[in-house]
A and B are shown apart, each in its own frame.
Chain A
Amino acid sequence: MSEPILKIENLVVHYETRTGVAEAVNDVSFEIQPGETLGLVGETGAGKTTIALTIMGLLPQPGGHVIQGKITLDGEEITRYLSNSRRETNKNDKHFRKIRGNKVGMIFQDPMSALNPVYTVGEQIAEVIRLHNRVSRSEAEKRAVEMMETVGIPGARFNNYPHEFSGGMKQRIVIAMALACSPKLLIADEPTTALDVTIQAQVLELMRGLRKEFNTAMLMITHDLGVVADICDKCAVIYAGQIVEIGTLEHIFNSPCHPYTRALFDALPSLDSDVERLKSIEGLMADPMDLPTYCSFYDRCDRKCDACKAGDPVLKEVEPGHFVSCVHYDGKKEGEA
């Protein structure tokens, strides 16, 4: 195996708020190989976006802290640039500025608000090109036009403002902006959530094509298993800031193990069976301000037993490349236990 583009080891992120400390990300580890796409699936508040913002060094300030863990991006450890003191902030921000937009491109959830309304889309794409390449204004503009055409927007619309585009087109422009400097890693934070279904399909199709063209590794954050099935190679299911199951697409979709993953699949409508009501997962996600010392999914789990309360489960390999954190899977698959 080659050197991974992104390697996250034992990442813990907390938010300090007035009412207490929210444990947003708890001991998360995963890696992404060059050209590979990892889907990060979980419900709202599970810590998906926090992981993305940590990689970008854009955790909300004040309040967001990386408590421990190591993030290695393209062979360089970037967690050491996370500043703890105010004095270091500027110096460290300089390191992160070289990463943002250059090594890591990011696509945000809502294209409607992700573009600055008072500058033309062309200017906004050219801005990122000029930030990371020593090129003249006209050269940057030329490249911006090329990027626009790559994502399927006529270059003639360079001088249009964001409000003159539809949502799907805006998301294309956001994608063009994220890919303008050919980043090694693309973080897509729910890129299709705000779009309607036909546009979703178009945008996913576009991203699939571009991923091949630019050979970019991708971290796809979503709560839509359909998107994962569509575009990802690997999938990590995250619950209450912890990865509960991680494996290849086949592992997760064909033999889901963790009760949470299974419940997610049960909640999907099926074409084969005719059911009136979809299954839902009872209850709410554990409060990140007050996580239990045992399995966070305990309260909602349909397979809970006394052993679950004994302690926090850890990820164990049930088959090569497929990890589950649940006491019911102790290094073996269910049937073998």
Chain B
Amino acid sequence: MLRYILKRILWMIPVVIGVLLIVFTLSVITPGDPVDNMVGPDATVEAREAAREEMGLNQPVYVRFVKYVWGVFTRLDLGTSYSNRQPVAKEIMHRFPVTLKLTLASVIVALAIALPLGVLSAVKQYSWVDNITMASALFFVSIPQFWFALMLLLIFSVKLQILPASGINGIRSWILPVAMIGVGNVGNLARVTRSSMLEVIRQDYIRTARAKGQRKSVVIFKHGLRNALMPVIANVGNTIGVSLGGAVVAESIFSIPGVGQFMLNAINSRDWPSVQGGIVVLAITFSIVMLLVDIVYTIVDPRLKTEFQARAKTKRKKGAAA
């Protein structure tokens, strides 16, 4: 198991390099000279060249790329911001906790609502509870996030004036952004839970559990839900990825000082190191989440753990034979 985790962590390196390659290429082919933003529009040619020299922008693209990647992996150096000449890593680490909190909060809240709803709809299939849940799930999955955010702002901040429209001060200011990101997740996860649960409650072992004299509710949650969780967990991994993206939107709408807002500002000022840094951090976060999801799999389903162990054993045997 430990070997597997180590292997997965090593796999993140090519992922990060690949992501960087794409972002780097984009930054090169995007029109506009980052130097304009560094020195201002009426700087002399000498000043512009000095700035270019200072940031290493006069070097060929591939040299810059290799240097950058080298810096990321050896010194955890994400480069220096073009706009304020600060190390990007420092800026991001300062903002990253906010983004992570926002993402995780929205996923956890979504799970807390979606799991019971999904189970309920499955158990009472085709009842009015099921119909209403699934119809509203479809509705909330389908609506655009930014529009929903604006509606939330309109109702709760402008009309009712009960929730703050921007910034992060205290728990109340988290409600709207979390709701905006989370509502689609609730719909999505509730649908996955329902379909997975529907399959599980028709299994023989559910009947066995009932034939033992176990309560129906215990049968459903102890024997059913744990088996139904696998597709849900897979979905939670993706949901966290999508929510990281959603956080970028939410941060700019609600003016939350997170990585998303930071990156958006950086894109507008062609501050490529900051954009790259943000993307690297998000890519690594997503990879770690996916690794955690796979580890949780083996905890929930013992069959997978045995599979891992068996695979490791045959490999070792093969190695010994060779």
Q: Which residues from A are CB-within-8-Å of B204?
A: 108, 110, 113-114
Stretch binding the partner chain, chosen from B211-219, B250-258, B264-272, B273-281 = B211-219
Q: How far is the CB of B214 from chain A (nearest CB, A)?
A: 6
Q: Which residue of A lies closest to B307 (CB)?
A: A163
CA–CA, A56 to B303, complex, Å?
Answer: 31
CA–CA, A114 to B211, complex, Å?
Answer: 11
Cβ of A99 < 8 Å from any Cβ of B? yes
Contact status B211-A163, CB under 8 Å? no
Cβ of A128 < 8 Å from any Cβ of B? yes
Q: Which residue of B lies closest to A89 (CB)?
A: B216
Contact status A56-B302, CB under 8 Å? no
CA–CA, A118 to B226, complex, Å?
Answer: 8
Q: Is the interface of B mostly helix, strand, loop or mixed?
A: helix
Q: Which residues from A are CB-within-8-Å of B303?
A: 117, 161, 163
Cβ of A102 < 8 Å from any Cβ of B? yes
CA–CA, A108 to B207, complex, Å?
Answer: 9
Other-chain residue from A118, A120, A131, A164 in contact with B212 (beta carbon distance below 8 A): A131
Contact status A177-B208, CB under 8 Å? yes
A118-B301, A118-B302, A161-B302 in contact; A56/B211 too (CB < 8 A)?
Answer: yes
Contact status A58-B205, CB under 8 Å? no
A113-B205, A117-B205, A117-B301 in contact; A128/B223 too (CB < 8 A)?
Answer: no
Q: Which residues from A are CB-within-8-Å of B216?
A: 93
Contact status A161-B211, CB under 8 Å? no
Q: Which residues from A are CB-within-8-Å of B95?
A: none
Q: How far is the CB of B43 from chain A (nearest CB, A)?
A: 66
CA–CA, A119 to B225, complex, Å?
Answer: 12
Contact status A115-B213, CB under 8 Å? no
- Type the 1/0 row for B18-38, where 1 means its CB is closer than 8 Å to any CB of A: 000000000000000000000
Q: Which residues from B are CB-within-8-Å of A132?
A: 213
Q: Which residues of chain B in 291-306 are interfacial with respect to chain A, using CB atoms and an 8 Å cutoff? A: 300-303, 306
Q: How far is the CB of B300 from chain A (nearest CB, A)?
A: 7
Contact status B208-A116, CB under 8 Å? yes
With a 10 A CB-CB cut-off, give which of A118, A119, A131 has the most chain B CB atoms: A118
- Type the 1/0 row for B192-207, where 1 means its CB is closer than 8 Å to any CB of A: 0000000000011101
Contact status B223-A116, CB under 8 Å? yes
With a 10 A CB-CB cut-off, give which of A105, A110, A128 has the most chain B CB atoms: A128
Q: Which residue of A lies closest to B227 (CB)?
A: A118
- Type the 1/0 row for A149-177, where 1 means its CB is closer than 8 Å to any CB of B: 00000000000010110000000001001
Q: Which residues from A are CB-within-8-Å of B208?
A: 106, 108, 114-116, 174, 177
Contact status B207-A58, CB under 8 Å? yes
Cβ of B48 < 8 Å from any Cβ of A? no
Q: Which residues from B are CB-within-8-Å of A114?
A: 204-205, 207-208
Contact status B215-A113, CB under 8 Å? no
- Type the 1/0 row for A69-110, where 1 means its CB is closer than 8 Å to any CB of B: 000000000000000000000000100111111100110101
Q: Which residues of chain A in 105-154 are interfacial with respect to chain B, using CB atoms and an 8 Å cutoff? A: 105-106, 108, 110, 113-120, 127-128, 131-132
Cβ of B163 < 8 Å from any Cβ of A? no
Cβ of B209 < 8 Å from any Cβ of A? yes
CA–CA, A106 to B226, complex, Å?
Answer: 24
Cβ of B52 < 8 Å from any Cβ of A? no
CA–CA, A100 to B203, complex, Å?
Answer: 18
Q: How far is the CB of A159 from chain B (nearest CB, A)?
A: 10
CA–CA, A116 to B301, complex, Å?
Answer: 11
A113-B204, A118-B227, A161-B306 in contact; A128/B212 too (CB < 8 A)?
Answer: yes
Q: How far is the CB of A128 from chain B (nearest CB, A)?
A: 4
Contact status B214-A131, CB under 8 Å? yes
CA–CA, A115 to B209, complex, Å?
Answer: 9
Q: How far is the CB of A106 from chain B (nearest CB, A)?
A: 4
CA–CA, A55 to B109, complex, Å?
Answer: 43
Q: How far is the CB of A137 from chain B (nearest CB, A)?
A: 15
Contact status B306-A101, CB under 8 Å? no
Q: Which residue of A lies closest to B301 (CB)?
A: A118
CA–CA, A131 to B302, complex, Å?
Answer: 24
Q: Which residues from B are CB-within-8-Å of A117?
A: 205, 227, 301-303
Q: How far is the CB of B183 from chain A (nearest CB, A)?
A: 31
Contact status A116-B207, CB under 8 Å? no
Contact status B205-A116, CB under 8 Å? yes
CA–CA, A163 to B211, complex, Å?
Answer: 21
Q: Which residue of B lies closest to A52 (CB)?
A: B211
Contact status A115-B205, CB under 8 Å? yes
* A and B contact pairs by CB, cutoff 8 A, 14 listed: A58-B207, A97-B215, A100-B210, A101-B211, A101-B214, A106-B208, A108-B204, A108-B207, A115-B205, A116-B209, A118-B301, A118-B302, A128-B212, A174-B208
* 3 nearest CB pairs, A to B: A101-B213, A100-B213, A101-B212
- Kindly list 19 other residue pairs between chains A and B, CB separation below 8 angstroms, not including A117-B205, A163-B303: A56-B211, A58-B207, A58-B211, A98-B213, A100-B211, A101-B212, A102-B213, A108-B204, A113-B204, A114-B205, A114-B207, A115-B208, A116-B209, A117-B302, A118-B301, A127-B209, A128-B212, A132-B213, A177-B208
A interface vs B, CB < 8 Å? 56, 58, 93, 96-102, 105-106, 108, 110, 113-120, 127-128, 131-132, 161, 163-164, 174, 177
